[in-house]
Amino acid sequence: MTEYHRLVDRQFRELSRGYGGAEAVTILRNSRLSKHLLLLRFIARAWPGPPAEREAALSALADAQAQNRAAVDEILADPIVGAWAARTCRRILASVYVDVDLGHLGAIAAAAATRCGSDADVLTPARDGFVMLPTVGAVAVNAARHQPVRVRVRSGEVSVEHEAGAWYRVRRLRSGDAGYAVVLEDTDPYRGGHHVAPAGRLTDAEFDDWQELFAEAWRLLTTYAPERADEIAVGLRTLVPLVHGAPGSADSATMRDAFGAFGLTRPESGTSLALTIVHEFQHSKLSAIVDLMRLYDAKAPDTYFAPWREDPRPVGGLYQGTYAFLAVADMWHRLRTAPDGRAAAEHQFAAARVQVDAALTTLLELSSLTALGRRFTNGMRSTLDALHAIEVPDAVLVRAQEELRRNRVAWQERNGRAP
């Protein structure tokens, strides 16, 4: 009998309020593993490339799974592997596939064999002078771009044809005593897909800067939002450094197909990173939720004012932003009790609160929400109502409301229509 991933009413309710807990996030994470497996099955059945390469990769995956299924599941659940699988399926369906995408299956199989101590003999393409094994690392090779390179694994030991000698292991940012770690992914060829290009391999000094920021961000999360830290520790697996844009700018984005990963430029502080983690993980959660249930009509043509954006947003974009900024408002409220920066936190809390209120007011008026989507939106409203009950100085509230008013006017002038 087929088992389906389902959220019980309690989990649905808590997720709608902006949290969810480790148990619900585990369900979302496991649902994405199942999705990746289905995508992999489609790739194997619709495979338009050389069949011998497919059979070698699938055989190596099966052997690794027989050795250590949990380790293979961890690789196949990897968010960047999910991004590859979704992209490759779309290209096969559109008949615009390229062999380099298909060949990445060999790299995944070799990574599984390496992690499980089994054997593999597969081909995978060189990318800009490297062969990359997901969750393991990249090796420099003397091979032309996209040239197939043979990778052999024997009892977990890897040898790579045309190897140039330099291995770049996957590096992880560690929380300290808590034992939690996330991958800082700066080598995987499928780590891109954000609105900003991914950065190249970081130097050791740059990695150390990220490590310091992450340790501080995690301290803030566990100190001031421990419930949120608990669920993030279950679901967040990967951070992708992005190229900086204009001086002083900060960018972050979550790919819909990569649950538990997001890209970001290097933050200026641990506080900024903590807030970005909260914001982007909400996007991952909601993307996984809408895979399991329909909250709105994604094809509805109308677009709307989102206080945090300059462009009109479709219902899905407005829903995503509202869910993310509700969590940001809650996090700023919690940071008001931190020893430093109370005034800044108070202003940011008030500003985020009025922005989310405006967005929720719009959402609750939309006919494109399903019954489940309206229930979910009402859950967000209940959290916002609790945040509205928290007193802030009148001057802070007036400033936040004035900023929202200016945003509306600027949006109307920019887009030639009333919000």
The pLDDT tens digits of the residues spanning 364-383 come to 999 999 999 999 999 999 99
Tell me how far CA of residue 141 lies from CA of 104, 167, 189, in angstroms.
Answer: 16, 10, 15
Q: Compute the average pLDDT of residues 19-47.
A: 96
Question: Closest by alpha carbon to 126, among 105, 148, 106, 107?
Answer: 148
Q: Is the pLDDT of residue 235 over 50?
A: yes
pLDDT by residue (tens digit) across 388-415?
Answer: 999 999 999 999 999 999 999 999 999 9
383 vs 156, more confident:
383
Q: List CB contacts of 282: < 8 A, sequence separation 6 or more.
A: 18, 323, 324, 326, 327
Tell me how far CA of residue 121 lies from CA of 114, 143, 149, 152, 302, in angstroms.
Answer: 11, 18, 11, 5, 52
Q: Is the pLDDT of residue 284 over 50?
A: yes
Tell me the domain boundaries of the chain. 36-169, 170-292, 295-419
Q: How confident is the model at residue 3 (pLDDT cuts 50, 70, 90)?
A: low
Q: Compute the average pLDDT of residues 79-83.
A: 98
Tell me how far CA of residue 170 lies from CA of 103, 145, 239, 257, in angstroms.
Answer: 20, 22, 12, 21
pLDDT of residue 247: 62
Burial class (CB in 10 A: 0-12, 13-18, 19+), 263: buried
pLDDT by residue (tens digit) across 52-71?
Answer: 999 999 999 999 999 999 99
Tell me how far CA of residue 101 lies from CA of 81, 149, 326, in angstroms.
Answer: 11, 14, 37
Q: How confident is the model at residue 1 (pLDDT cuts 50, 70, 90)?
A: very low
Model-wide pTM > 0.85: yes
pLDDT of residue 273: 98
Q: Is the pLDDT of residue 177 over 90?
A: no
Q: How confident is the model at residue 249 (pLDDT cuts 50, 70, 90)?
A: low
Q: List CB contacts of 63: < 8 A, sequence separation 6 or more.
A: 113, 118, 119, 120
pLDDT of residue 404: 97
Q: Is the pLDDT of residue 328 over 60?
A: yes
- Of 93-97, 199-203, 412-416, least confident by mean pLDDT is 93-97
Tell me the pLDDT of the chain averaged across its residues: 95
Other Cβ atoms less than 10 A from the Cβ of 100: the count is: 16
Q: At what angle do helices 79-93 and 21-45 cross, to 10 degrees?
A: 40
pLDDT of residue 317: 97
pLDDT of residue 340: 83
